[in-house]
Amino acid sequence: MTTAAARKHGSFRLNVVSRKAETLFHVILGVFALACIIPFIFVVIISFSSEESIRQVGYSFSPAAWSLDAYNQVFNLGDALWRSYFNSFLITIVGTVASVAMCVLYAYPLYRKDYRLRGFFSFLSFFTMIFGGGLIPTYIICKNLLGMSNNYAALIVPMLVSPFNIIIMRTFFQTSVPFDLIEAATIDGSGEYTTLVRIILPIVKPGIATIALLTALGYWNEWFLCLLYVTDRKLYPLQYLLMEMQRNAEFLARNSSMIGASGASAISSLPSQTMRMAVVVFIVLPIACAYPFFQRFVVAGLTIGSVKG
């Protein structure tokens, strides 16, 4: 039997697991992928259902009637919506760039074996991973001491440094950048900054992309900082706009008998359930669109530095 024929029959393949195992893996990964995507598809379907249908049959994959009402309502938010969209983008972009820069600049010296205070600074960042100050002291420091109240800084600065990302980045430096490279660069007359920017950074691009993605996701989904420090509606990110609708609805449901009749009118003026789902779609779309651009680097990050077959 020739190799070509064997290949055709699938009995002779290089570097692959058996058909059975491969099928099994595909099924497992397929199920996992479905588990991730189905809730989102469900949200999209609900956002296109009519309120009436939800009242009758509840949330359903096949609603009794379709409707664009929810999206009309969302667009009717007008300025509030676009303003929040703008805020979300601003916070995410500025936050991610600043945070990644800090992370790289912190992780790089930690990787340099010739840096004397390496142990101390490693400990400093690692320590905060295990022991936090707690909510109230953090709140006092941010709000009263640093004046982060009702401004963009309050939405960006508290999340700027992530010890977890620093450790990922340091490990990435260690596994992908041989120290000899730095020595070689030094001998060739490259200064520290040139070495970092022109030699090291291009190598660790996949690592940077990975933490940039993690950070961007973190900023995009953040609403708790806004709850703590911001009461000015002009600064609300989109995620908090949604959260506020949700929390208002929950509060009124829980306390309706206490608020009495005025609660009834408050409930009826709440955004409908379908509208809240439509806002979710608005939130997910941009970040979902950003994924493919990062994916290339993330996949590269998985394979780089290991022994390749």
The residues of the shown chain that bind other proteins, judged by CB under 8 A, are 55, 58, 80, 136, 139-140, 143-144, 149, 227-228, 231, 233, 243-248, 250-253, 255-262, 264-269, 273
Please state the closest distance from residue 173 (CB atom) to other proteins, in A.
39
Please state the closest distance from residue 101 (CB atom) to other proteins, in A.
31
- How far apart CA 58 and CA 49 sit, in angstroms, is 10
User: How wide is the angle at C-alpha 91 spanned by C-alphas 88 and 96, nearest 5°?
Assistant: 120
**Given the complex with other proteins, which of 39 and 58 has the nearer CB atom?**
58
Please state the closest distance from residue 34 (CB atom) to other proteins, in A.
25
User: How wide is the angle at C-alpha 303 spanned by C-alphas 300 and 307, nearest 5°?
Assistant: 145
Cβ 51 vs Cβ 272: under 8 Å: yes
Q: Which stretches of 131-237 are DSSP H helices?
A: 135-140, 152-156, 163-176, 179-187, 192-194, 201-203, 205-220, 224-229
Please state the closest distance from residue 141 (CB atom) to other proteins, in A.
10
Please state the closest distance from residue 149 (CB atom) to other proteins, in A.
8
Q: Which of 3, 23, 24, 25 is closest to 12 using CA atoms?
A: 3
**Given the complex with other proteins, which of 138 and 295 has the nearer CB atom?**
138
- How far apart CA 163 and CA 134 sit, in angstroms, is 16
- How far apart CA 272 and CA 160 sit, in angstroms, is 35
**Given the complex with other proteins, which of 257 and 303 has the nearer CB atom?**
257
**Given the complex with other proteins, which of 67 and 190 has the nearer CB atom?**
67
**Given the complex with other proteins, which of 60 and 149 has the nearer CB atom?**
149
